[in-house]
Amino acid sequence: MSERLLVLVRHGQSEWNLKNLFTGWRDVDLTELGVKEAREAGRKLKAQGVGFDVAYTSALKRAQRTLSLVLEEMGTTGLPISKDQALNERDYGDLAGLNKDDARKKWGEEQVHIWRRSYDIAPPGGESLKDTLARTLPYYVQEILPSVLRGQRTVVAAHGNSLRALVMVLERLSPEGILAREIATGVPIIYRLNADSTVASKLDLAA
């Protein structure tokens, strides 16, 4: 039986991560550090002897470029790549493009903290983490998971909050548990699944 491999990678540092801005669906590119992080992710996966048959990413270029750099470092070309808005970062609505410190001055420290760290309270015009899960999880169940269970070695390059949705399901975390979970930029997480889609093993390549 071929292995049921699923690798999650958050995009490398983006230009707006660097500037401390709320990004969401704004389509910004990677910084030089972000490019290095993506390449390093590819090298780490290659060193683990990991290969891929299929890839999934968001409709945003920071995730797409990260995936491209990871595959380039691994010497993997010609992979089928599915791009979908379901894997986009959480939409920060009226906060998008604002400096996080400026947002705190405008709405107050406590309110911004609630928007950023609550499970089901959305910023004005944007999505809560619960909303993000509601669009990401069906895509995972209908598109990504079947690939993994068929034995296709699968990589997903996406964003902090869309990947949290997948981690929440894979690791069976509560809403409180997923809020406390940070996903680092450019660090691959390698899961191997059982036939019933539960996690057989997990390896976080942070180092």
Annotation marks residue 11 as catalytic: yes
Find, among 91, 100, 86, 84, the residue nearest to 25 by Cα.
91
Side-chain half-sphere CA neighbours of 151 within 13 A: 3
Long-range contacts of 14-17 (CB under 8 A, 24+ apart): 14/62, 17/185
Active-site residue, selected from the candidate residues 11, 37, 40, 159: 11
Q: With helix as H, strand as E and coil as C, how does 65-79 read?
A: HHHHHHHHHHCCCCC
- Options 37, 40, 89, 127, the catalytic residue: 89
**Are the CB atoms for 127 and 93 separated by under 8 Å?**
yes
159 is catalytic: no
SS3 (DSSP) at 172: coil
Residues in Cβ contact with 185 at an 8 Å cutoff, skipping those fewer than 6 apart = 10, 11, 12, 13, 17, 34, 37
Q: What share of the chain is helix, strand, coil (3-state, %, to 5)?
A: 45, 15, 40
Catalytic residue annotation = 11, 89
